[in-house]
Amino acid sequence: MQVAVVLYEGVTALDAVGPYEVLRSMPDTSIRMVGPAVGPVMTDSGVLTLGVSHTYASTMTPDVVVVPGSERGTLAAMNDPELLGWLTAVHATTRWTTSVCSGSLILGAAGLLQGVPATTHWIAQDLLPQVGAIPSPQSRIVHSGKIATAAGVSAGIDLALWLAGELCGREAAEVIQLAIEYDPQPPFDAGHPSKASAEVLAAARERFARSA
């Protein structure tokens, strides 16, 4: 099985690395970090680079595609004809085409979410209808046909474990969960707008308004 995780300028590192760390450990699986050219891609911090290992052109039959999101680079990716053309082409033969965070807007820009239930980062839920998708703002993972989308950033880990279960069975997925010791114990409980205080929600909205 071949898994392709897309990288592009401004990608959010954890969106890509969460699913990568899970999916690379599936039995008999090879993983690739794909982009227009092999080499480093700058993430949205402006500090950390992640390396593209394989070009789009050399990766035309992945079984699983993961499109991560970005705090700053989503719009550019939504208008990148090479990325959109590649997504459209490979989607024809994938087993699963997936996204994390605002990556669903990139799937949508490629025309893959017309009438499809989907999710994204909570700050971007309102944008889903603009690409033809049906928002599902209370869901951390949404799947329909062979499209699966995850909520913001860290939700990619949950998506990937669920996907590993679908592809390799529950026991294999649980082995991966144990290997990455994914027994989350957040010290606070503010990870969704429905749980955060009004002050925290306002501050987070302000942060995203500044970075947009």
Q: Which residues here bind a second copy, judged by CB under 8 A?
A: 12-14, 17-18, 20-21, 24-25, 30-33, 40, 45, 47-51, 53, 101, 121-122, 140-141, 151-155, 157-158, 161-162, 165, 170-175, 177-193, 195-197, 199-201, 203-204, 207-208
Cβ pair 15, 100 in contact under 8 A:
yes
Q: Considering beta carbons, is residue 84 or 168 the nearer one to a second copy?
A: 168
Task: Tell me if residue 168 is catalytic.
Answer: no
CB of 78 to a second copy, least distance (A): 20
HEC string of 5-60?
A: EECCCCECHHHHHHHHHHHCCCCCCEEEEEECCCEEEECCCCCCEEEECEECCCCC
Q: Considering beta carbons, is residue 115 or 197 the nearer one to a second copy?
A: 197
Q: Considering beta carbons, is residue 34 or 84 the nearer one to a second copy?
A: 34
Residue in 101, 107, 127, 167 annotated catalytic: 101
Ordered alpha helix ranges (H), the chain:
13-23, 74-78, 81-91, 103-109, 155-168, 170-179, 198-211
Q: Considering beta carbons, is residue 110 or 143 the nearer one to a second copy?
A: 143
In terms of Cβ atoms closer than 10 Å to its own Cβ (0-12, 13-18, 19+), residue 130 is: exposed
CB of 111 to a second copy, least distance (A): 26
Residues taking part in catalysis: 101
